[in-house]
Amino acid sequence: MPHITEYLWNAFVRRLEKNEAESVHLTLLPQVNEKHVDEKLEGAFDLLFAMFSDIAEMRNRIKVKLRWPLAKAVIRVENANSLEMLRQVKHLLEYLANIKEVEFVNEIGQCGEEEYVRAQGRGYEICLSKVMDKKLYYEALAREVVRRIQTMRAKANLKVDERIRVYVSTGSDDLVSAIKEFMSYITNEVRATDVIVGNVPVNTFAMDWDIEDMRVRIGIERITQ
């Protein structure tokens, strides 16, 4: 981090501000004007991170990984001011907790035990959907495939901007369906020109994986210009 910070300082700050210090390590930390601190917003973020921590624990309880998307969380917030602030930043909790929709409310309805898991926090109550439909399941599998391919890119010492072709061989219909359903997502995430489902050619860099007890062989091939 010190080296990266020094590079950014010289490449951007000193390039535009010639009178700045020769090194970032010769500068003083900026002074905070406490008059500009939004205490309501700070309080909302404290609540948001507490909620994220609770949701992570709830996921652990129902054995759903954080990288697997869930459909919805309904959160009752007792403080009206916090409620309004949280509604403005709800997209952050959706991103952190990997939930498609977070709804902040002042009253919460019935949460059936078959569909939801509940948790009580300080000043809030969470109702988290634990039902994963086929589309969410396929998205989760697609993310698992992406994670394996990214690991293979690293092992093959590929540069970030290098393009690849991916081959996937599996006997799992669910994995095949997930790849076809989220083909654009996979190719974009791993910088692939295409993903070919079928036999993996012998001349590719290939590895065998186990994804949720489903066997899959993945091969990657560098695209040369």
For 113-165, what is each residue's pLDDT tens digit?
Answer: 789 999 999 999 999 999 999 999 999 999 999 999 999 999 999 999 999 99
| Whether residue 65 is found in the same domain as residue 103 | yes
Residue 33 lies inside a defined structural domain of this protein: no
* End-of-domain residue from the set 83, 104, 131: 131
pLDDT at 112: 75
Structure tokens at 128: 């988290």
DSSP 66-121: TTS-EEEEEEEES-HHHHHHHHHTHHHHHHHHTEEEEEEESS-----TTTEEEEEE
Count up the domains in the chain and report the number: 3
| Whether residue 12 is found in the same domain as residue 43 | no
pLDDT at 29: 84
| Whether residue 157 is found in the same domain as residue 207 | yes
Q: What is the mean pLDDT of the chain?
A: 93
d(CA 202, CA 103): 50
Q: Could you tell me the residue range of the domain that residue 87 belongs to?
A: 39-131
Residue 127 lies inside a defined structural domain of this protein: yes
Sheet of 205-211, strands arranged across: 192-197, 164-170, 214-222, 205-211
| Whether residue 126 is found in the same domain as residue 50 | yes
Residue 34 lies inside a defined structural domain of this protein: no
Question: How big is the chain, counted in residues?
Answer: 225
The DSSP 8-state label assigned to residue 136 in this structure reads: H
